[in-house]
Structure 1
Amino acid sequence: MDVIFGNLDLWGEALGNTLILFFGGGALALVLGFIVAAMRVSPVPIARAVAIVYVNWIRNTPLTLVFFFFVFAYPQLDLVPLDYIPTAIVALGVYTATYVAEAIRAGINTVQPGQAEAARAIGLPYGKVMTLIVLPQAVRAVVPPMISVFIALLKNTTVAAGFSVAEMAAARASISDSGDRPGTLMEILLLTAAVFVALVMLLSWLQRALEKKWRIAR
């Protein structure tokens, strides 16, 4: 228990940074993912081509390399400077957005094409067809794969530990290095795993709640 109560400040900072990375990266991934998904099903060939290149390129690149780009290559572009945590949020968001886009695209494909065609027949533009007709129905089908994407995002936050962000994995390494008892490492690993299991269980509960709500709404 000394590992826990003797390092409450470190654990608190690490958990806080993990949640910041998760919610920040998740928000960015949702916004970017919706845009990319809309581009992938767009009738404009250039938009579809750009979205396909983005998804295939980023999704097939290891997350560590995406972090390396934003940590080491991005500063060379002389654009808006980013600190460690914002850099990690952008890297996680850009990477996760590809999976969000594919989950949304799969949900869009579950909507009967005739509904979009009927909406266009009465004069609705493409943007309103997507926001008023297609996406509200697609969201129901998207919930399970989307929660899986966010569970993966939560676990991917540990990659930020290798880039000077003090999240849960970094706290584990820091406390482990300073421990002087043989059992310290095992205790730290178990505590870190327990925190992630609790957070994943919370996301799973959210998935069940959303599925139940929208199933009743039908």
Structure 2
Amino acid sequence: MIRKQTSAFLLALTFVASFALSLLPVSSVSATEDNHYTIATDVTFAPFEFQNADGEYVGIDIELLEAIAEDQGFTYDLQPMNFSAAVQALESNQVDGVIAAMSITPEREENFDFSEPYIDAGPVIAVHEDNEDINSYEDLNGKTVAVKVGTTGAQFANELAEEYDIQINQFEDSANMYEDVAAGHSDAAVEDYPVMAYAIQQGLALRVATEPEQGYPVGFAVNGGQNPELLEMFNAGLTNVVENGTYEEIMNRYLGEEAASAPSGGFFALLSQNFDSLMSGLGRTLVLTLASFAISLIAGTIIGLFSATPNKALNLIANIYVTILRGIPLIVLAFFMYFTVPQLFRLQISAFTAGIITLSLNTTAYIAEQVRGGIAAVDKGQLEAARSLGLPYGTSMQKVVLPQAIKIMIPSLINQFVITLKDTSILSVIGIVELTQTGRIIIARSYESGAMWIIVGAIYLIIITVLTKLSNQIERRLIND
């Protein structure tokens, strides 16, 4: 029986490995030979990069990259993610370059190679438009300042905190940072002047309270010693687009007087304008959930059976797996799969593949415990009675114990499915544009976070309610059989 269980376990592992490998992208080495690159960018940093109402990524960085690529004859895939995740992806060679209004600082130059600068962006302090008390750095004493993680604005705020009594709140997205000030939770925000000026122009209820500081130049980055030909093409293309006037056109489009303001039509207009994007994000959420849960159901059942078998070696394997995977936070596991594993084994894993593996590993541990608990809940006399009738251990488990255990486990499995669905939102940290990340992207363009989070929450509620009712019907049918 043990040999059969071990064979089943190995078969399941082979299935999981084959599924994951089928999703792996072509390695970056072969891609760069054809002048094709993967370039990461931020998703919520207008006017440098953001998504418009048609679902297209636009902004200074995006259009500048497009013009340079056309001029130099290379192609690229754009990988939108949070700024800090984009930097980590570049460090681990998951992407070939980053264009995200990335300031060229001495610290970053130790790890990355930068292009020639294409704009200067100094930090500025902004407060609520009704706030008349803060007009200088001295006025920040005893105040709370919001910053975006990993930016020069955050670095500048830390420098101010050494001189003044300032508490710092950190955010992954600029839009959330602005809303924190607008809601009164923070007294001020630190942001690069072009970004803050654009946000205020779009109708954000903030005002600039200080003069812009001398900032660092902004450039395109590649990993240290990697992709020198890409950096060379970017510099050559930048020179050409400046000379032919394309650069000036792009800057005027977003920072000049002709820059368009974002339309504001209220809750229902926001929903209708972004319905397709929201449904696309929901589709990715459901695919992630269904794929990872299907894998976890198989692997979790096998590991759960390991826990229930009399064999101590299999018990130990199950116990180690469950202890480790339940003890690691999901966000840490996602970072490990997407950033650390490629560095350790020198391979590339797409964000989508890393997301499915992360959810599968995590959910498997919980399903294994549910399987173990379901089997333990069946009266021991059932197994003893089956064995006394001469049935082998495997047959007794299959025909007598497991059918009863499954009925006990169904409510827990339904609950785990709902939890897995909601856990997909964490995968936005590695660049997967699921439903929650879609909401963030829309907020970065519209600056209407209140209405958008209500919409996203309502979509989750509807989907989870429908799936729960469907699962409950399946549960009743199984129990009545």
TM-score, normalisation: structure 2: 0.42
CA apart distance, 1:133 = 2.1
How far apart, CA to CA, are the structure 2 residues paired with 1:80 and 1:23?
26
How far apart, CA to CA, are the structure 2 residues paired with 1:128 and 1:50?
23
Q: Which amino acid aligns with 1:209?
A: Q
Match of 1:188 among 452, 457, 478: 452
**Which structure's residues are more often strand, by fraction?**
2
1:140-151 map, 5 Å: 140-151=407-418
Q: Which amino acid aligns with 2:451?
A: E
Gap change, CA 1:123 and 1:73, over 3 Å in 2: farther
Contact 1:37 1:101 in 2 (8 A): yes
Q: Does 1:105 align with 2:369?
A: no
Contact 1:28 1:90 in 2 (8 A): no
CA apart distance, 1:123 = 4.9
Q: Does 1:216 align with 2:477?
A: no
CA apart distance, 1:203 = 2.9
Q: Does 1:49 align with 2:316?
A: yes
CA apart distance, 1:39 = 0.5
CA apart distance, 1:80 = 7.2
Q: Does 1:59 align with 2:330?
A: no
Residue 271 of structure 2 aligns with which residue? 4
Q: Deviation above 6 Å: which 4+ runs of structure 1?
A: none
How far apart, CA to CA, are the structure 2 residues paired with 1:72 and 1:126?
44
CA apart distance, 1:78 = 3.1
Give the match's secondary structure for 1:24: helix
Gap change, CA 1:41 and 1:193, over 3 Å in 2: same
1:18-167 map, 5 Å: 18-78=285-345, 81-167=348-434
CA apart distance, 1:5 = 2.1
Report the identity percentage. Answer: 29
How far apart, CA to CA, are the structure 2 residues paired with 1:93 and 1:114?
34
Q: Which amino acid aligns with 2:468?
A: S
Q: Tell me the alpha carbon deviations over residues 169-213 of structure 1, each in whole angstroms, 9 at most, x when there is no partner.
A: 110100000005xxx211210111011111221232134313322
How far apart, CA to CA, are the structure 2 residues paired with 1:203 and 1:116?
34
RMSD across aligned positions (CA):
1.9
Q: Does 1:168 align with 2:435?
A: yes
How far apart, CA to CA, are the structure 2 residues paired with 1:59 and 1:37?
14
How far apart, CA to CA, are the structure 2 residues paired with 1:82 and 1:171?
22
TM-score, normalisation: structure 1: 0.90
More relative contact order, 1 or 2 (CA 8 Å, 6+ apart): 1
Based on CA coordinates, which of the two structures has the bigger radius of gyration?
Answer: 2
Gap change, CA 1:123 and 1:85, over 3 Å in 2: farther
Q: Does 1:204 align with 2:471?
A: no
Q: Tell me the alpha carbon deviations over residues 11-66 of structure 1, each in whole angstroms, 9 at most, x when there is no partner.
A: 12201110011101111111111011000011111110010011011102111111
Q: Which amino acid aligns with 2:458?
A: A
Gap change, CA 1:76 and 1:134, over 3 Å in 2: farther
Gap change, CA 1:68 and 1:128, over 3 Å in 2: farther
Match of 1:178 among 434, 445, 458: 445
Gap change, CA 1:82 and 1:118, over 3 Å in 2: farther
Structure 2 residues not aligned, in runs of 5+: 1-267
Q: Which amino acid aligns with 1:177?
A: A
Deviating more after overlay: 11-20 vs 81-90: 81-90
Contact 1:96 1:153 in 2 (8 A): yes
Q: Tell me the alpha carbon deviations over residues 50-94 of structure 1, each in whole angstroms, 9 at most, x when there is no partner.
A: 100110111021111111111112223438753211210110011
Q: Which amino acid aligns with 1:107?
A: G
Q: Which amino acid aligns with 1:42?
A: T
Deviating more after overlay: 54-63 vs 78-87: 78-87
Contact 1:143 1:210 in 2 (8 A): no
CA apart distance, 1:117 = 2.7
Q: Which amino acid aligns with 1:213?
A: R
How far apart, CA to CA, are the structure 2 residues paired with 1:126 and 1:18?
40
Q: Which amino acid aligns with 2:472?
A: R
**Which structure's residues are more often helix, by fraction?**
1
How far apart, CA to CA, are the structure 1 residues paired with 2:379 and 2:358?
35
CA apart distance, 1:107 = 1.0
CA apart distance, 1:118 = 3.4
